[in-house]
Structure 1
Amino acid sequence: MAKVKVQRAREFMNLFRNYTIFIDGQKVGTIGNGQLIQLETSPGQHKISAKIDWCSSQEITFATEENVSKTFTVGGFKNAGFLFVAFVSTMVLHFLLNYFFGLNI
């Protein structure tokens, strides 16, 4: 059997949600935050994709060989952490300006 490894980076934005992994359109497993899963598949051409809630990745076509493993990495929007900090900072600044200085922006 050929092996497929799927690795997921640690993400704050999707901390409590799992990705569902599909190979050839069939659900083969789920992966949590920061996890690595190993799946077995037959040698040959396959398609892999991932889905989290309503968002999904594109299908990637790959070939596997007997006793050879392929590794894929799945993750969300790479700048999501920065955008989250920027959003919270803006909301805090808005609250402070409104509460302490009466500026209704």
Structure 2
Amino acid sequence: MAVKRSLRICEKGHKYYKSSECSSCPTCDKENKPKSGFLSKLSSPARNALVHEGIDTLQELSMYTEKEILKIHGIGPASLPIMRTSLEEEGLSFKE
């Protein structure tokens, strides 16, 4: 069964196709990707999910447990090792 993909246009005028309800534009995601920091190491969905929750520093991330982070839509288990390593490099960790 073929997945139905619909043409969408973001507010900046980029055209893209999506099969899900996700409204993020791939072109805008690339343009907005940070050049450094832990957010630059994450996938677009995970990065967008954290920023949407107001988590954009390792200090803010360390105030959450791994379970709380995994409950955020857009964060998957593959993102946890990246976040854990980034926290450890700064002498931080997830909340117990």
User: With structure 1 as the length reference, what TM-score do the two structures score?
Assistant: 0.20
**Higher relative helix content:** 2
**Higher relative strand content:** 1
Q: Which has the higher contact order (CA 8 A, sep 6+)?
A: 1
User: With structure 2 as the length reference, what TM-score do the two structures score?
Assistant: 0.21
